[in-house]
Amino acid sequence: MPGAPSRAIGVAAMLTLLTVVVAGCSSAPRPAPSATALPAGISAWIEPEPTSSATTPMVTVVVKNGTDQTLTVQDLQVDDPRFLWTAWAVGSEDVTIAAGAKKSIQIGVPTMVCPAADSATTRLTVDFAIGASIAVASLRLEDPQDAIAATNEMTCATR
């Protein structure tokens, strides 16, 4: 077919030009999210939520930012075998934690498994940004006051 090779070259040139133009219009590149641990100086644990009740069970995840940079928690989930599904942070806003500060983030507890297992490992998955980095951390979440066990007992007692 006459002109087909030149037409193909023209289309390829246009696609290359379009790629260069679009790439030039994007914002500054940021590192892609990666599975990691929380950076040194950042810690998290569970505490009881004072407003929790059998009808609205909640716990609190406390995040302490011991770094010299602002930390932004973009998403937070808690997995525990005593939950029928994953628990999520209450609200949809990012949580900004200043350097040296800590914040409490309410977690709505889903339907609980009754009776609960004797022992359980609670896991935290958190999407965060600190400095120019964004990442996803997954780690064991400590529950020093047994807030999830107490919530489980409270909700199962009402069934």
| 43: CATH | 2.60.40.10
Q: pLDDT tens for residues 37-79?
A: 889 999 999 999 888 887 888 999 999 999 999 999 999 999 9
Question: Quick check: is 16 in a domain?
Answer: no
User: What is the count of structural domains for the chain?
Assistant: 1
Question: Quick check: is 20 in a domain?
Answer: no
The CA distance from 150 to 159, in Å, is 15
Q: Please, which residues bridge with residue 139 across strands?
A: 124
**Residue 122, Cβ neighbours under 10 Å: how many?**
22
Question: Quick check: is 145 in a domain?
Answer: yes
DSSP H helices, the chain, are 4-25, 147-157
Q: pLDDT tens for residues 71-124?
A: 999 999 999 999 999 999 988 799 999 999 999 999 999 999 998 776 788 999
Question: Quick check: is 126 in a domain?
Answer: yes
